[in-house]
Amino acid sequence: MTQADTPDAAAEAYRQRRHFFLRRLHSLSGVVPVGIFLLTHLWTNARAVYGRDAFNHAVGEIQAMPLLAYVEVGGILLPLAFHAAYGLVIAAQGSANVASYGYSRNWMYLLQRLTGVIAFAFIALHLWQYRVQKTLGAMHWQDFYGALGRDLAMPAMFAGYVVGLTASVFHFANGVWLCGNSWGLTTSARSMRRAATLCAVGGLALWALGFNTLLHFSYRCGGVLPMPEQTLERMCHDAVAP
């Protein structure tokens, strides 16, 4: 019996194959469906800049989808839970060594894992504030617009949302680039550079879309921009009125 045929070698080969499969699945799940959900969520929320009615119409179309609960659990929450859980495993096992090797990809490696942890905490908070409260009957989806206006009027909450948005978008954009490498879509140095540029531009555009929405909600209740007291009272009342 050769060394390669020993039980320990076979078990190690199985662990490597499983790790390879899980890493591929983790990379793919960050784009489909989790990444698609991020794009859809930010685009839907961006309708808020056109007012409460436009926002409620966009959210209402989603709420009217048939079998929505099954889509949310099977197509979003379970893939998100897997991506987050296995991502935390990868983050715990990884080592960036940026102190010894300050290369750009080493920094990107570190930032990918750091932003993944931040994005996970942010998404958990966001789900608790809105999705869980809706499920528990403490909030209706028609209340989302006013609740976002109230929450984002608080400077600490606004800052937290900006950090969460930034972490989520960076993690997604850099993850798309990594997914292309992992799945063999970008093999040459030239194709990797082009993909990196496209991901960076797309990520900046997506971040600007989300940040503009945050500014809208915060501005509606005067959370970021200073304004006279009467104007603040009128705008905040408009934001939280049913």
pLDDT at 220: 67
Report CA Rg, the chain. 21
- CA within 13 Å, CB half, 168: 27
Instruction: Answer whether 115's CB lies under 8 Å from 106's CB.
Output: no
pLDDT value of residue 224: 45
pLDDT for the residue 223: 42
> What was the pLDDT predicted at 44?
96
Looking at residue 132, its pLDDT comes to 94
pLDDT of residue 96: 58
Domains and CATH numbers, the chain: 29-240 (1.20.1300.10)
Do 165 and 204 contact (CB within 8 A), yes or no? no
What's the sign of the alpha-carbon dihedral 116, 122, 128, 131?
negative
Low pLDDT (below 70) residues in the chain: 1-5, 94-103, 220-242
